[in-house]
Homo-oligomer: A and B are copies of this chain.
């Protein structure tokens, strides 16, 4: 087996309690013994067994992360933020991805329980009732991009509705009236919010007939590609397309390009998320930037506070930012990624 506290005690010529005290910095221990213990631990390369620790009701040092299917860059950025902050706080991440089905979701939560001190849950498809149940059953939970109203749970969201509203208004201000939307997953609340923002902006501008302008989609390039083709097949072309997210927009861009449609001259295109690829698309993509890495960090900070008993449940809404680039603005040059 590995080296235990007993080995350290033996080598240092003290009892295991003394070793424990020194290593946990509890009470006072004579300096000479302290040094001996530290030396022995160092020499043996001793690390306390985390299993034994958590058995005593101590922290496990783990943070569970449950994610739905999200686009690659979003996923990557979010996890990077989580990991940066978690490492900084001495936690490690237990990750479980791609849980669309609530059955899988439940079992994932179940498996993580007891292994972690708290959980970060991104579940845009989760309802209020589910969420509260989750929060009640487990310990500390911070929801991200999940629409939960209960004041008893913590949430870090960003403004899907407002971002979409601003984006659509931007297009309306440019004179567009026939603006189409490629919608995201019908069951995902964030996609629904984005669609609402679009619809409200349109209605406020007096465009109430959205027939033929709303097409189903997903958060993928493939879906955007297909949806754009569908839009191109209609008898009345839109003059602008708002896509579910950046990947979706990039897929749409490809379809338009193949069809020989110039962007933004003939049809303007916009995305959502503000991933790196959005600025390397051609033309560079107008989008709504979501600081997802920073959101990840904030979620961990909130969770750690909760776990440590400091801080109450709170709801944060992180602002998003409209980035206007070449895909919607004629005459703005090619929209170089580095101006």
Question: Which residues of A are at the interface with B, using a C-beta cutoff of 8 A?
Answer: 1-2, 47, 49-52, 54-55, 57, 60-62, 71-73, 75-77, 79-80, 83-84, 87, 92-98, 108, 110-115, 220-222, 225, 250-251, 253-254, 257-258, 275-277, 280, 282, 334, 336-338
A sample of 10 inter-chain contacts (CB < 8 A) reads A49-B55, A50-B51, A51-B54, A71-B76, A73-B76, A83-B98, A87-B108, A92-B112, A225-B338, A258-B336
The answer on a CB contact under 8 Å between A95 and B98 is no
**Chain B residues near A112 (CB, 8 Å)?**
92
**A17–B152 Cα gap in the complex (Å)?**
39
**Chain B residues near A96 (CB, 8 Å)?**
83, 87, 92-93
**Chain B residues near A98 (CB, 8 Å)?**
80, 83-84
**Chain B residues near A108 (CB, 8 Å)?**
87
User: Of B47, B257, B337, which is within 8 A of A114 by CB?
Assistant: B47
Q: In the complex, how many angstroms separate the beta carbon of A273 from the nearest chain B beta carbon?
A: 12
The answer on a CB contact under 8 Å between A250 and B280 is yes
User: Of B60, B80, B84, B220, which is within 8 A of A51 by CB?
Assistant: B60
**Chain B residues near A275 (CB, 8 Å)?**
72
The answer on a CB contact under 8 Å between B76 and A114 is no
A sample of 20 more A-B contacts (CB under 8 A), given A51-B52, A71-B76, A250-B280, is A1-B57, A49-B114, A50-B51, A51-B55, A62-B94, A72-B77, A75-B76, A75-B79, A79-B97, A87-B108, A92-B94, A92-B96, A92-B115, A93-B95, A94-B94, A95-B95, A221-B337, A254-B282, A258-B336, A282-B282
**A93–B93 Cα gap in the complex (Å)?**
8
The answer on a CB contact under 8 Å between B280 and A225 is yes
**A250–B76 Cα gap in the complex (Å)?**
18
CB closest residue in chain B, given A65: B95
Q: In the complex, how many angstroms separate the beta carbon of A109 from the nearest chain B beta carbon?
A: 11
**A33–B15 Cα gap in the complex (Å)?**
45
